[in-house]
């Protein structure tokens, strides 16, 4: 089929576009910068540009919507414009263009109000209780997309959790960079059990959602490796793969959350060029359990991860050795 991928210049978007090409689909992409993916047609621009979006969806069968403002801080209006407005615009255009499948790539944080999550499924998105502008606007975007699910346009939401892998500049690079500078503590001893997703698995999971949209539509699914680990183990694994010393010191999570809140307030007044070193959202993510029930995901999407955590870490290590 003909598939449009938005946000294909990002770490996960690139992997999804490549996976779709490998699966034999005709792939078009939409984002500001060239995707760099072999075998796709890039349309360059913003998902908030009405005429450009209309052109991008013309003639497609399916849409995989990854483009989003992903950040821990920034102007709240901008989050809304991209993550809510962009989604609405794209789904309107897709419907008009006669597309039959729409995969909304979301995040487990849309249903997370800060307490520990152990073995939960994909609860409904909850913008009112989501923490931070990113999670709130992604929650609104997901609700909006799922509300548009219909007999003619099958909408599925997927929420890959904590995607990492070689070439990841968001999570892995930040961890490694901070660890290298000795600025990466564990929170509360790093015992919080968290799920994560190796990038290849996230990509195959999203493609599976597109393939299964005819039966799985109307639902949201969390996608993970299904191998929860204490956050300290995961950070240590990533650091060791990158050849840096894993964090050994621990700070109380309560302190980190308080510091994160304070920093967020300062950043709101005087935005820096870098991301803030700690936010309340990040402190929560690194100090409370987040692991998920994968049974419905695997059954409904007829999908299982192909790269284990250990294999993923080996590939990450190989990547750093080459670099």
Instruction: List contacts with other proteins (CB under 8 A).
Output: 116, 118-120, 187-193, 227-230, 232-233, 236-237, 240, 246, 252-253, 287-289, 291, 293-295
Closer by beta carbon to other proteins, 54 or else 240: 240
Work out the burial of residue 300: count CB atoms within 10 Å of its CB; fewer than 13 is exposed, 13-18 middle, 19 or more buried.
Answer: middle
Closer by beta carbon to other proteins, 144 or else 283: 283
Catalytic pick among 134, 198, 221, 320: 134
198 is annotated as an active-site residue: no
Pairing of strands 250-251, 186-187: parallel
- The least CB distance from residue 74 to other proteins, in Å, is 26
Distance CA 48, CA 215 (A): 30
Going through the chain in order, the beta strands assigned E by DSSP cover 2-6, 26-31, 41-44, 62-65, 101-105, 117-120, 154-160, 163-164, 186-187, 193-194, 197-198, 220-223, 229-230, 250-251, 290-292
- The least CB distance from residue 187 to other proteins, in Å, is 8
Distance CA 282, CA 302 (A): 32
- The least CB distance from residue 315 to other proteins, in Å, is 17
Angle of helix 86-96 relative to helix 50-57, nearest 10 degrees? 40
Closer by beta carbon to other proteins, 16 or else 236: 236
- The 10 Å CB-count burial string (b at 16+, else e) for 117-134 is beebebeebebeebbbbb
Closer by beta carbon to other proteins, 118 or else 150: 118
Closer by beta carbon to other proteins, 10 or else 232: 232
- The least CB distance from residue 179 to other proteins, in Å, is 14
- The least CB distance from residue 141 to other proteins, in Å, is 27
Tell me which residues are annotated as active site. 134
């Amino acid at each position: 089929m003909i598939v449009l991928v938005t946000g294909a210049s990002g770490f996960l978007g690139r992997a999804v576009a490549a996976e779709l090409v490998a699966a034999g689909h005709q792939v078009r992409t939409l984002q500001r910068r060239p995707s760099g993916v072999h075998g796709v047609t890039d349309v360059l621009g913003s998902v908030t540009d009405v005429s450009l979006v209309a052109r991008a969806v013309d003639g497609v069968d399916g849409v995989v919507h990854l483009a989003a403002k992903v950040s821990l801080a920034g102007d709240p209006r901008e989050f809304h414009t991209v993550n809510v407005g962009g989604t609405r615009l794209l789904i309107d255009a897709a419907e008009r263009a006669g597309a039959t499948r729409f995969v909304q790539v979301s995040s487990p944080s849309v249903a997370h109000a800060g307490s520990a999550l152990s073995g939960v499924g994909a609860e409904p998105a909850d913008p009112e209780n989501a923490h931070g502008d990113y999670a709130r606007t992604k929650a609104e975007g997901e609700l909006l997309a799922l509300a548009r699910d219909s007999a003619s346009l099958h909408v599925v939401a997927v929420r890959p959790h904590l995607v990492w892998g070689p070439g990841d500049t968001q999570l892995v690079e930040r961890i490694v960079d901070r660890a290298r500078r000795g600025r990466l503590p564990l929170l509360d001893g790093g015992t919080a059990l968290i799920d994560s997703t190796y990038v290849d698995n996230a990509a195959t999971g999203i493609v599976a959602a597109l393939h299964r949209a005819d039966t799985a539509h109307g639902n949201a699914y969390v996608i993970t490796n299904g191998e929860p680990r204490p956050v300290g183990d995961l950070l240590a694994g990533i650091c060791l793969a990158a050849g840096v010393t894993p964090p050994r010191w621990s700070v109380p999570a309560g302190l980190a959350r308080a510091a994160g809140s304070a920093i967020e307030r300062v950043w709101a007044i005087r935005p820096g060029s870098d991301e803030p070193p700690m936010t309340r959202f990040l402190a929560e993510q690194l100090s409370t359990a987040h692991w998920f029930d994968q049974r419905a995901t695997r059954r409904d999407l007829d999908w299982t991860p192909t790269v284990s955590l250990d294999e993923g870490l080996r590939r990450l290590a190989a990547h750093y050795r080459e670099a």
